[in-house]
Amino acid sequence: MAQTLSPTENRPFFDRNPLEQADRGTNDDPDDAGRRPPYALTEGSGRQPDRSNADDDEAPRRKKARYSSRPQRFSLYPKMTSQVGNGLSGLPSACEMTPQARTVVHDFMCRVTDSTGYPTLAKLATSASAKKLWFQYMLVDEAYFHCFVALSEACVDLALGKKRESCSSEYRHHLATALRLINSNLSSHEAVSDTNIAGVIALCDVGLIRANLCQARAYFEGLCRMIKVRGGTGQLQGNPALLQKAQSIDIDLALLGWCPAQLSKSAKELDQIVPIFSVLEVTSPLVNAVRNTNQDVFKAAQDVMKMSRIFNSSVASRKLSADAFHDIVISLCYRLLAIGAISGASKLSNPVARAAHLGLIAFMTTFLPHLSHGRDQMYQVLSRKYKAALSNAAFRKSVDPATHLWLLMVAGLSVLEDGELKEWLAPRISEVLDLFGMDEWSFARRLMGKYPWVNSVHNTPGAAVWQKCFPTSATQNN
């Protein structure tokens, strides 16, 4: 039976003008209730979508643009060998691409995605099928086409170091057209189709990249309503790329302190992902340090250590699929956020448990996709709270030196700005190293191996952090 929403739930979740009202937050004017779909992106009207005859898992269908002259026949799996070098000029798409749009999409697909996505971890960085899926949607759906071009330009601008306030007229055109088309879809049988959900996901990413967090949150709230009308996250299980991307945005906003996690119930149990997860045995000074402090933090530390063991194993990591990699990271992030949200006051009374909890969260951010890398301080709230926990007098008196050093290194890898490495982190690390009588990276690197630490992800940036703190120190990874 089709799922509908009552008129009292018809409340807008998106600003009417995202380019001019980004700093105002969401527009929850009750006078707008009932005049447009509950998840509308801009002003509009229309009846509630009738899903009685719609197939939730239908394959994406090509929607011909009114101004498109492209032929209807095309391949969902185009060969890009000769076309990529020619600005994608030979590929059929949902509507005509201008030379600028072709160049931007080409640069995004070929140069930007690898540097702004998941950190490299063997072959688990990004599923090839997931990349293909996002590109396919651009070829078959007009609304998503405009979302994808706008997202591509935002990412390329970020990679080139352009100011986030500077938006080209073409970017504004694509974004405005995307909003209009998605809103039109919301009043049709395409309201909660895969391609329409993918379009709103792209809008969330655009908001994060442009640092318009009010807009990103508003788009995400609308996305959650769409998923609810679809029948819940269980209806997205057949398209894991969509679900994982929605979960990643959810976690990102929670880590930014903008709202609690909304989709945590959709996370898989770790034993569902890796059947032997619960029987793995791990030992670590971190586990010992929090054993008698808080049971939730203790169990989370064990599981993060198990994750590190799996990712460091050449045999296990080769057998682990990209989807399994993402599911493990997402599950542990939700688990840690459930212990204590970033936006609220910590419920952990023990200073070591509090610092370890924030340290584990910061550690997990190194596995998240950072489309917004380069933005002013990615996780400001987490950074401030983590530094306060590490500076707590009771913590510094209670924690063992090795665990203290690991927590400091995690801070340098994840949430501290470059200027803080020399001014704040280096003196703190020096205090700990004095207790060991050692000051070389090779010693610290061997010590990190006893804690959550994935060699292929953390060795090189760890050495870089050490070099910035201690420019005269040798930093070979041994």
For residues 415 and 305, give the distance between their C-alpha atoms in angstroms, rounded to a whole number: 20
At position 34, the amino acid (one-letter code) is G
Are the beta carbons of 203 and 219 closer than 8 angstroms?
A: yes
Per-residue pLDDT, 165: 66
pLDDT digits (tens, 9 = 90+) for 307-354: 999 999 888 777 888 889 999 999 999 999 999 988 878 889 999 999
Quick one: CA torsion of 121, 338, 374, 412, rounded to 10 degrees? -70
Number of neighbours of residue 265 by Cβ within 10 angstroms: 10
Query: Residue written as tokens 């879809």?
Result: 185
For the record, the structure tokens of 123 come out as 């072959």
Helix (H, G, I), strand (E, B) or coil at 72: coil
pLDDT digits (tens, 9 = 90+) for 362-415: 999 999 876 544 444 478 899 999 999 999 999 999 999 999 999 999 999 999
For the record, the structure tokens of 92 come out as 């059929």
- Give me the chain's average pLDDT, please: 78
Are the beta carbons of 321 and 364 closer than 8 angstroms?
A: no
Per-residue pLDDT, 474: 66
For residues 359 and 406, give the distance between their C-alpha atoms in angstroms, rounded to a whole number: 9
Per-residue pLDDT, 36: 43
pLDDT at 452 over 90: yes
For residues 217 and 254, give the distance between their C-alpha atoms in angstroms, rounded to a whole number: 10
Provide the pLDDT confidence category of residue 472 given band limits of 50, 70 and 90. confident
For residues 257 and 264, give the distance between their C-alpha atoms in angstroms, rounded to a whole number: 16
Predicted structure pTM score: 0.77
Please write down the HEC assignment for all residues of 227-258. HHHHCCHHHHCCCHHHHHHHHHHHHHHHHCCC
Are the beta carbons of 335 and 300 closer than 8 angstroms?
A: yes
For 391, phi then psi, to 5°, come to: -95, -5
